[in-house]
A and B are shown apart, each in its own frame.
Chain A
Amino acid sequence: MAKVTIDGQEMEFAEGTRLFDACAEARGEALPHFCYHPDLSVAGVCRLCQVEVEGMPKLTIACNTFVRDGMVVHTRNEKVRKAARQILEMHLVNHPVDCPICDQAGECGLQNQYMTYGLYESEVEQADKVNKAKAEVIGPHVILDKERCVLCSRCVRFCEEVTKTGEMGIFNRGDRAEIGVAPGTELANEYSLNTVDICPVGALTSRDFRFQKRVWMLKSTPGVCPGCATGCNVRIDHEAGRIFRLKPRRNDEVNGPWMCDRGRMVYKDVHDEDRLTTPLLRGEAVAWADVEEDLARLLAFGSVGLAVGSARATLEENFLLKRLAERLGAGEMSGGLRDADRGVGDDILQDADRAPNRRGLEILDLAEHDAVTLAGRIGNASGTILLLGGDPAAAPEVAAALQGKDVVFVGTHAGATAALAQVVLPGAAWAETAGVFVNRQGRLQDFPQAIARPDRARETWRILVERLAAAGEDTPPASLRTVRLLLTEAHGLPDLNSLPAVGSVPAAGGAD
């Protein structure tokens, strides 16, 4: 251990601790910085995290210094503050200060640090500034404004060290230096939007989010990405029932600080035109009360032949489906289509299994089946086929088997399955409900509801609980909390109502 005195406070740190981290701990906030990022190599170029270490002739950057026993460090004295102010001024010399039209405004490192360390009158006239290219599209997801760039090189290091694709570089030198993509290439790797996250200013912005919403209007809710089995921890940024973007939420045991571009776009499904927003009775939009009669018949005791779950549904939803099937004396169960939701994985984050909760089916002992087998089971089942989630009839074999059967579908999107069902019950999409997904590591990840459901859609677990009540369960669970208690008990799981908090919502301004 090394004893270090930071701003008069003596603390102990493990040998090899970066002084930057030690200072953050001692101060309760990070030193001003742009280029340092804990998951990338140290560049040491923004020069903002200068601190005074007694015995050293000059100020030194904390990001490239390690604690030593007996070190005495000052981070708030006049000399350090003056340096931070001056260096910040240098960052702004050629900055266009176009905050009113910049998407980064409100979560911008330059704005934040100016309010903390700057607060000087500008000495530079607009006409004196170096002009560079603005609004340059450099890839399918990212747009570049070279004037706003502070050349911290985080994006360059990300592409070199994380994706190892190396599309980006710093070209030219002096104050003509600018970031860009290598000639003839574009920033088209599958993690390109992470560069937008780590860009401390408005140089790299998301083409999808650009000009959509001022960031201070957004509310953030922690979530788990439903895009694949990895289960990246995310932050859902939304306003008035609409999701505007997903951002990764740091969880070093799952996704670190990153997530893939495809995962960021899964929110679009939630607001898809195909969303089921109202119950459908033989294709007609009706009120909930209007389906009761048919449901009473189709889901009467002994009338259900087969109940099919889904790797896209939450652990609670599949659990309730199973409980309902048992309550109704259903002959058979299936976890759903084994081969649905397959894609191509990589060795960074993306898993080939594009469903978020296949491991959850294993916990519930719900075996999946391939399309032919599932179709065969449907064909052999006598009575109602109860389907939960996804779109199993997208497989032609399944669709053919469902023809002429009584089908009840609890789902979120219109499609082949909804079209075949006598009764369609509109459930909640992943962001509209609380729940638990079990990722590929077997990690139970719970998430709260982020946004309201559209129109007449209901939380899927409530729909299933209502059916349980209708089926005569004496004390059907009245809350998700109770559902989880039952689930915990039935499958010997850790208490799902007090899963350890995982991930952390990073501070605004790319301050991570």
Chain B
Amino acid sequence: MTPNDYTMLSARFGRSDGHKLAVYEAEGGYRALRKVLQDGMSREEVREEVKGAGLRGRGGAGFPTGVKWGFVPPDADEIYFFVNADESEPGTFKDRYLLDYDPHQTIEGTIISCFAVKAKLAFIYIRGEFGWLVDRVQKAVDEAYAAGYLGKDILGSGYDLEMIVHKGAGAYICGEETGLINSVTGRKGQPSIKPPFPAVQGFLDKPTIVNNVESVASVPFIINEGAAAYKAFGTEKSCGTKLFSVSGPVKRPGVYEIPLGLPFREFFNDWLGGMAEGEKLKAVIVGGSSVPVLPAEEIMNTNLDYESLGEAGTMLGSGGMIVIPESCDMVELIQVLMHFYFDESCGQCTPCREGTGWLHRIVKRLRGGGGTPEDLDLLEHVCDGMAGLTICPLADAAVMPMRSFLDKFRPEFEALIQETAAAAPTSRWPRGEQE
């Protein structure tokens, strides 16, 4: 297998003209939409096809997309659809590629998805920092309107759909679906308590579906080729292909489309070309910064699919793969990550608001040479008070790397503490303060 064998999602990646409607159409674009709207596929048929394909949400949680669509109350008549392009998970840059190189694929997938759930208005919510993407996607949406793929009576089918490209203001938490909805509504970008779930009560208190870019971009293929063709890729439970965005000192970093179930060893050696000159593999964060890190020897014997990675003690997540070389200081790396979650916590739930700041302060103290062996227990203790206790998974997203770094690389933490112990005061009270 080679990178070029899988082009379900990435056919136009890296090309200078792939974002144009004419190119997309010439290569079979909007065929799936015609199939749905002109050949008379019913909403149920579209939903069944997607459900049957086993497509799972590509944003990180991996929840089956077709099942999520099924949560919309059948009698609802005002339904909204959001494409989540608030791609902010450190290490993840796949949705950016999809929208940059091939926006029409996502737009077509969105129109079909909206039809399936009977939505009349769709938003593409683009991360604030992706300024240029907003223009690119807006141009593509304009083209789609002009070609009759959006607006009133699409392709003569009687189906109407409007699409709005919305630019976020740049907050990680707005990638959480209720945070995203709140921010579009004009509220502070922070998650809402569930229930109610957005599929029942979301934007303007109406049923709302929020899907990741890659999820909806997978839909045209499923409609064109059928669920069986999609399931031909991947494993029994992890169907289809998945984009991985690879960063770190490998020979060929970038975005790759792989069939799920591909052994990491093969992906690493053959696709990425192994480590760059002079670097040695130490560990991999496989699914974006929020998933537990795996040391080289563990990841090397793991396959890249939801189940295998779960068994290995981590998660497939968003597919944001961070390759960590031997030369990297794990304590420094966790400080960077803890700063991220400290900075991005919305501050709503107490365990996350206080816990992310507390973890960050402790790690910073360690790095500053003021750490004690008890601090490592304290880090575990703080993690215990955060995990699973909040509205959204941001607290868990901070806890998972923290715990796994401590678990897998504890000697590095201990060495740092020992190294700096001589210089540090023996008491945790700074000298002179007790008098």
Residues in A lying within 8 Å of B, measured CB to CB: 42-48, 50, 58-59, 61, 64, 83, 86-87, 89-91, 93-94, 123-125, 127-128, 130, 150-151, 169-170, 172-177
Contact between chains at A151 and B188 (CB < 8 Å) = no
Query: By the criterion CB–CB under 8 Å, are B389 and A87 in contact?
Result: yes
Which of B273-281, B323-331, B353-361 lies at the interface?
B353-361
Q: Please determine whether A125 and B428 come into contact, CB atoms closer than 8 angstroms.
A: yes
**Does the CB pair B195–A173 fall under 8 Å?**
no
The answer to whether A47 touches B347 (Cβ under 8 A) is: no
Closest to A35 in B: B350
Q: Which residue from chain B places its CB closest to the CB of A65 in the assembled complex?
A: B195
The 8 closest A-B pairs by CB, nearest first: A177-B347, A86-B385, A175-B357, A44-B193, A90-B354, A174-B345, A93-B354, A173-B347
Residues of B within 8 A of A87 (CB): 350-351, 385, 389
* Chain A residues, Cβ within 8 Å of B378: 123
Count chain A CB atoms within 10 A of each CB in B173, B188, B348, B429 and give the residue with the most. B348
Complex: how many Å from CA A413 to CA B18? 87
User: Known interface pairs A91-B354, A175-B357. Does A151 touch B347 (Cβ–Cβ under 8 Å)?
Assistant: yes
Query: Does residue B316 face the partner (Cβ distance < 8 Å to A)?
Result: no
Q: In the complex, which residue of chain A has the Cβ closest to the Cβ of B384?
A: A86
The B interface is mostly helix, strand or loop, or mixed, namely: loop
Q: How far is the CB of B402 from chain A (nearest CB, A)?
A: 15
Query: Do the beta carbons of B343 and A47 come within 8 Å of each other?
Result: no
User: Is the pair A174, B343 in contact by a Cβ cutoff of 8 Å?
Assistant: yes
B195: chain A residues at CB < 8 Å are 64
A-B contact pairs, 22 of them (CB 8 A): A43-B193, A46-B350, A47-B351, A64-B193, A83-B389, A87-B350, A87-B351, A87-B385, A87-B389, A89-B385, A94-B357, A123-B381, A124-B358, A125-B428, A127-B430, A150-B350, A151-B347, A170-B188, A173-B173, A174-B343, A174-B357, A175-B342
Interface: B391 (CB within 8 A): yes
Q: Is the CB of A91 within 8 A of B350?
A: yes
Chain B neighbourhood of A177, CB < 8 A: 346-348, 353
CB neighbors of A among B365-393 (8 A): 378, 381, 384-386, 388-391
Asked whether A86 lies within 8 Å of B351 as measured between CB atoms, the reply is yes
- Tell me the B residues contacting A by CB distance below 8 Å: 171, 173, 188, 190, 193, 195, 342-351, 353-358, 361, 378, 381, 384-386, 388-391, 428-430
Q: Cβ of A47 and Cβ of B358 under 8 Å apart?
A: no
Name the one of A42, A43, A90, A170 contacting B385, with C-beta atoms under 8 angstroms.
A90
CB of A45 within 8 A of CB of B349, answer yes
- The reply to whether B351 and A173 contact each other, CB–CB distance below 8 Å, is no
Is the pair B389, A45 in contact by a Cβ cutoff of 8 Å?
A: no
For the complex, give the distance between the alpha carbons of A173 and B357 in Å.
11
B193 contact set on A, CB distance < 8 A: 42-44, 61, 64
CA A39 to CA B1, docked complex, whole Å: 62
Q: Which residue of B173, B356, B388, B391 contacts A44 across the interface (Cβ within 8 Å)?
A: B391
Interfacial chain A residues near B389, Cβ < 8 Å: 47, 50, 59, 83, 86-87
Q: From residue A37, how far is it (CB to closest CB) to chain B in Å?
A: 15
Residues of A contacting B385 in the complex (Cβ-Cβ under 8 angstroms): 86-87, 89-90
Chain A residues, CB < 8 A from B384: 86
Nearest chain A CB to B182's CB is how many angstroms away? 13
Measured CB to CB, the closest approach of chain B to A227, in angstroms, equals 36
- What B residues does A123 contact at CB under 8 A? 378, 381
Q: CA of A128 to CA of B358 in the docked complex: distance in angstroms?
A: 9
B353 touching A175, Cβ below 8 Å: yes
Q: A86-B385, A130-B357 given as contacts; is B390 within 8 A of A47 (CB)?
A: yes
Task: Report the minimal beta-carbon distance from A177 to chain B, rounded to whole angstroms.
Answer: 3
CA A23 to CA B77, docked complex, whole Å: 37
Identify which of A42, A43, A170, A175 gathers the most chain B CB atoms within 10 Å of its CB: A175
- CB-based nearest A residue for B194: A64
| B347 contact set on A, CB distance < 8 A | 151, 170, 172-177
Known: A86-B385, A123-B381. A151 touches B353 (CB 8 A): yes
Known contacts A93-B358, A125-B428, A169-B188; can you find 7 more A-B pairs with CB under 8 A? A42-B193, A46-B349, A86-B351, A89-B385, A91-B350, A174-B347, A175-B353
For the complex, give the distance between the alpha carbons of A313 and B350 in Å.
50
Q: Are B354 and A175 in contact (CB under 8 A)?
A: yes
Most chain B C-beta atoms within 10 Å of own C-beta, residue among A50, A90, A128: A90
Contacts of B343 on A, CB cut-off 8 Å? 174
Nearest CB to that of B389 among chain A residues?
A: A47
A42 to B345, CA, bound (A): 20
Closest B residue to A120 by beta carbon equals B381
Question: Do B350 and A90 have beta carbons less than 8 Å apart?
Answer: yes
The residue of chain B having its C-beta at the shortest distance from the C-beta of A50 within the complex is B389
Cα A6 to Cα B428 in complex, Å, equals 44
Closest-by-CB residue of A relative to B362 is A128
B residues in contact with A61, CB < 8 Å: 193
CA gap between A50 and B389 in the complex, in Å: 8
CA distance A423 to B390 in the complex (A): 70
| B346–A175 touching, CB < 8 Å | no
Return chain B residues, CB-CB under 8 Å to A46. Answer: 349-350
Question: How many Å from the CB of B385 to the closest CB on chain A?
Answer: 3
State the Cβ distance, A504 to closest chain B Cβ, in Å.
Answer: 28
Query: Which B residues lie within 8 Å of A169 (CB)?
Result: 188
Contact residues in A for B388 (Cβ distance below 8 Å): 58-59
Note all chain B residues with C-beta closer than 8 A to A172: 347
